[in-house]
Amino acid sequence: MSSTKTTPNELDRDAIRARYRIERDKRLRADGNDQYVEVAGEFAHFVDDPYVEPTNREPLVDEVTAIFIGGGFGGLVTGARLAEAGIPVRIIEKGGDFGGTWYWNRYPGAQCDTHSFVYMPLLEETGHVPTEKYAHGPEILEHSRRIGKHFGLYDDAVFQTEVTELAWDDDAARWIVRTNRGDEMRAQFVLMCTGPLHRPKLPGIPGIETFEGHAFHTSRWDYDYTGGDPQGAALTGLSDKRVGIIGTGATSVQVIPHLARAAGELYVFQRTPSSIDVRNNAPTDMAWFENEVLEPGWQDRWLRNFTAHFAAGTVPEEDLVGDGWTDLTRRIRDRLLELFASGGGAKVTREQMMETFFDADDEKMTEIRARVDSIVGDESAADALKPWFRQLCKRPCFHDEYLQAFNESSTILVDTDGQGVERIDETGVWVDGVHYELDCIIYATGFEVGTSFTRRSGFDAVGRDGVLLSEHWDPAMRTLHGMHVHGFPNLFHIGAAQGAGLVANYPHNLTEAGAHVAWIIRRLLDQGIDRVEPTIEAEDAWLGVLRGGGSGMSGVLGSTDCTPGYYNNEGKGFDKNSVGLGYPGGALAFFALMERWREAGDFEGLEFAAVAPSPASGRLVHGRKRAVHQTFVE
């Protein structure tokens, strides 16, 4: 149920923005990311794998061409492109199968919140058509397995295995990879995508360790306790249980409707409400797909059309996806066109453009708050569920059952007015001096963002001359194109940071980066190039480009004016060298830049060492290298 659009003249902008500041300020905390508890020590059981039994195998002591650390979308799409290029790759994954976040997140109601056609990678290559606009978790997990099978990535993959050491052997020009299974593997190339949202975190609530009831994190859902299954069967084990859920972000929005229908009593402990826009999910109409969509290159067209809505330039006239993400960008475009038309040819300032952006956002968020009133029957609960921040200050959510869950008699909203849960004891939760007795606590508290690379990955990398990656990245991450690191030859990072920086559809970052890196490695092998890394000057220059900053929507992400959350480092913001930076021109401009870089063929910014041929035989002999600036010939 959507509300009537609000016109700009009906809004009290000053009052809205004053409320935003008030709501932000009451949630600011001096401890920032330190408010969360690391899932280690007495909390280590929160990350045990509930989906497979541990298996035994003999340690691997061998050498392979390429190793990819992480079996989520990053490993799958890069592995697929490496396989297409004839490059063998071993994927190391700590879970029991491919899937990454979709292997771990099997909570009831799990769905992608970007259109399946652009979220799920390699659809055209594998011949899969998503069954609905927003695919559910089991389908996405099965598609991950489909990619692995289609490209032969299972053949040399190792699961239930965590990297513990990664060190560069400069004499042999090989990476040595050690694991918790006793493996000692050697590889010419190492690639990694350990994911921005893969290591669960717990809230640092006093007494969290004292609770004597049942407790688990949403990324390790305990169906043995709750009943049901990832396919959506009823959670029959909760019918007589008092269940508390802490956290009301994107995961909780999907889980709560299922808990509300199943639990004897459901207590939702809320620090900050999410913005809940219309989802309007529907099955895929195959006749429409075959007649209107299906032709060679269809997914790439959809990807680029969606991503173009977040570019610094003009929003495309055609909107193939038609969801809440593109609705906001098209509103902004329409308002900007009005601004330019009203100027009579006069120059429009950046300040005017930003004010127009904020006006469009004010309209959208006013509608979202009105939607709460139109759905939630209890006036007090409705007021507490209204988000008072800009839509892109926190991850936008889209759902057609979440708000309705608060009309269930068994659902009790416990709003903490931005302060969070006071403490936990053996039998329940305290908020503002009131005790809530619980049988079960479910932590929907998300994943670590902004903590150190080594804490999130579980290992450090030792580069040339014994330099640690954590040292090179002190005080902050530094790369060339988000993929290459000086002093760490043949090590490639796959992700969004310091690259495309696309937040609305993270997998698009991975598909482009994976194809780019596979292209580079193929040419290194073809030309007998032993090692590659960026110059320190290239890293510095790239950071200078990133420091150029963003505007429009990208200027809101990470802003300290926003309500605290992982988008803005819990209200502290990110510095100008930070992991959070993306290419100022936007994702499509970054993809185009990388395409031109490949076409140029001179690999600007990279240094190479070629394997020197033996004078006697002409064979390529490892250990006899000469540093060169190599120009590749197609």
pLDDT at 456: 57
Structure tokens at 179: 């694991």
Q: Do 205 and 420 contact (CB within 8 A), yes or no?
A: yes
Whether the pLDDT of residue 566 is over 80: the answer is no
Whether the pLDDT of residue 71 is over 60: the answer is yes
pLDDT band at residue 564 under the 50/70/90 scheme: confident
- Judgement on whether residues 185 and 204 belong to the same structural domain of the protein: no
- Judgement on whether residues 454 and 324 belong to the same structural domain of the protein: no
Whether the pLDDT of residue 588 is over 80: the answer is yes
Average pLDDT, the chain: 88
Question: What integer is the mean pLDDT of 222-233?
Answer: 97
Catalogue the E-assigned strands of 61-139: 61-69, 89-92
pTM: 0.91
Q: Is residue 118 part of a domain?
A: no
Q: Is residue 630 part of a domain?
A: no
CATH number at residue 509: 3.50.50.60
Q: Is residue 223 part of a domain?
A: yes
pLDDT at 448: 62
pLDDT at 481: 97
pLDDT at 338: 84
What is the C-alpha separation between 550 and 557, in angstroms, rounded? Answer: 9
Whether the pLDDT of residue 567 is over 60: the answer is yes
Number of Cβ within a 10 Å radius of residue 17:
15
What is the C-alpha separation between 244 and 265, in angstroms, rounded? Answer: 8
Q: Is residue 267 part of a domain?
A: yes
Question: What integer is the mean pLDDT of 104-113?
Answer: 96
* Closest CA relative to residue 405, chosen from 180, 299, 521, 252: 252
Paired with 231 in beta bridges are none
Q: Do 366 and 358 contact (CB within 8 A), yes or no?
A: no
**pLDDT digits 0-9 by tens, 424-440:** 999 999 999 999 999 99
Q: Is residue 629 part of a domain?
A: no
Q: Is residue 366 part of a domain?
A: no
- Judgement on whether residues 533 and 433 belong to the same structural domain of the protein: no
Q: Read off the amino acid at residue 265.
A: E
- Judgement on whether residues 403 and 259 belong to the same structural domain of the protein: yes
- Judgement on whether residues 258 and 295 belong to the same structural domain of the protein: no
- DSSP states along 3-56: PPPPPGGG--HHHHHHHHHHHHHHH--TTGGGGEEES-GGGGGGG--SSS----
pLDDT at 424: 98
pLDDT at 140: 98
Q: Is residue 607 part of a domain?
A: yes
Last residue of some domain: 358, 393, 409? 358
Whether the pLDDT of residue 629 is over 50: the answer is no
- Judgement on whether residues 407 and 298 belong to the same structural domain of the protein: no
pLDDT band at residue 483 under the 50/70/90 scheme: very high
Scanning 309-451, the segments in alpha helix (DSSP H) are 324-342, 350-375, 379-384
- Judgement on whether residues 479 and 541 belong to the same structural domain of the protein: yes
pLDDT at 548: 80
What is the C-alpha separation between 65 and 115, in angstroms, rounded? Answer: 35
**pLDDT digits 0-9 by tens, 128-145:** 999 999 999 999 999 999
* Unique residue bearing structure tokens 């990072």: 493
Whether the pLDDT of residue 27 is over 80: the answer is yes
pLDDT at 630: 35
pLDDT at 454: 63
Whether the pLDDT of residue 561 is over 90: the answer is no
* Unique residue bearing structure tokens 């001179």: 602
Catalogue the E-assigned strands of 180-249: 184-192, 201-203, 214-217, 242-246
Among 41-55, 343-357, 582-596, the least confident range? 343-357
* Unique residue bearing structure tokens 């980066």: 513
**pLDDT digits 0-9 by tens, 43-62:** 888 889 999 999 999 999 99
What is the C-alpha separation between 193 and 186, in angstroms, rounded? Answer: 18
Q: Do 110 and 136 contact (CB within 8 A), yes or no?
A: yes
Q: Do 382 and 235 contact (CB within 8 A), yes or no?
A: no
Question: What integer is the mean pLDDT of 273-284?
Answer: 96
pLDDT band at residue 195 under the 50/70/90 scheme: low
**pLDDT digits 0-9 by tens, 393-420:** 888 999 999 999 999 999 999 999 999 9
Range of the structural domain that residue 238 is part of: 8-31+200-278+378-443
- Judgement on whether residues 92 and 161 belong to the same structural domain of the protein: yes
- Judgement on whether residues 334 and 430 belong to the same structural domain of the protein: no
**pLDDT digits 0-9 by tens, 614-628:** 333 222 222 223 233
